[in-house]
């Protein structure tokens, strides 16, 4: 049997974790394993990164994995209510917990704040009331507090420092 790499994030799981499973395993078996391993409730959901709906338990992992395995998110929430504030205006939208910060930023900037792709690329999401700017690959479900299915951000300019790198000719 072939081994499949599973990369996952989730509620109360600090970073990206990895495990290997054989290609005959289902997402239901993965869900049960992750629930026990991380002390999550047995009804926790599994989302494939980028999918809006949880994956069905009977689907074989091999059917949804690629050459590099599969990236999933484990969470109790079917959706996360994301609030983004920009120029003193707050807009909200529901996203899958497996949506990445980068996807959420781009979508909110373009669809809710009418930015061009270029303008959106010059901004970052920062957790509201903090200076924390999560990586664009972080799943938004990993940023919830485990009690509410919501997260709030500020859309801020990506401040880049221009100038010499300290080298002289």
What is the architecture, at CATH level 2, of domain 3-75? Roll (3.10)
Please provide the average confidence, as pLDDT, over all residues in the chain. 91
* 3-75 and 80-157: identical CATH topology: yes
The confidence band for 161, taking pLDDT boundaries of 50, 70 and 90, is low
CA-to-CA separations, 145 to 5, 13, 70, 76, 152, in angstroms, rounded:
27, 11, 25, 12, 11
| Domain chopping of the chain, boundaries | 3-75, 80-157
58: left (phi over 0), alpha (psi -120 to 50) or beta: alpha
> Residue 28 burial (CB < 10 Å; 0-12/13-18/19+)?
middle
What whole-number distance in Å separates Cα of residue 120 and Cα of residue 89? 16
Find the radius of gyration of the CA atoms of the chain. Answer: 18
Residue pair 112/153 in contact (Cβ under 8 Å)? The answer is no
Residues 6+ away with beta carbon under 8 Å from 81: 92, 93, 94, 149, 150, 151
The string of pLDDT tens digits covering residues 80-99 is 999 999 999 999 999 999 99
Least confident of 62-66, 136-140, 144-148: 144-148
Over residues 15-53, the pLDDT tens digits come to 899 999 998 999 999 999 999 999 988 889 999 998 999
Tell me what percent of the chain is helix, strand and coil, each rounded to the nearest 5.
20, 35, 45
Cα–Cα dist 77/163, whole Å: 45
Write down the pLDDT at residue 169.
43
CATH tag, 80-157: 3.10.20.90
Residue 141 near residue 98, CB atoms below 8 Å: yes
């Amino acid at each position: 049997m072939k081994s499949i790499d599973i990369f996952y994030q989730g509620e109360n799981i600090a970073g990206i974790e990895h495990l290997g499973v054989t290609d005959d395993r289902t997402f239901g078996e993965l869900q049960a394993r992750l629930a026990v391993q991380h002390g999550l409730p047995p009804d926790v959901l599994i989302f494939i990164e980028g999918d809006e709906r949880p994956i069905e338990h009977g689907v074989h992992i091999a059917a949804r994995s690629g050459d590099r395995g599969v990236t999933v998110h484990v969470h109790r929430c079917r959706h996360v209510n994301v609030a983004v504030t920009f120029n003193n205006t707050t807009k909200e939208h529901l996203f899958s917990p497996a949506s990445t910060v980068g996807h959420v930023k781009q979508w909110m900037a373009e669809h809710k704040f009418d930015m061009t792709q270029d303008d959106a690329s010059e901004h970052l999401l920062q957790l509201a009331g903090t200076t924390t700017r999560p990586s664009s690959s972080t799943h938004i479900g990993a940023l919830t507090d485990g009690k509410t299915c919501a997260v709030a951000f500020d859309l801020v300019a990506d401040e880049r420092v221009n100038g010499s790198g300290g080298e002289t000719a």
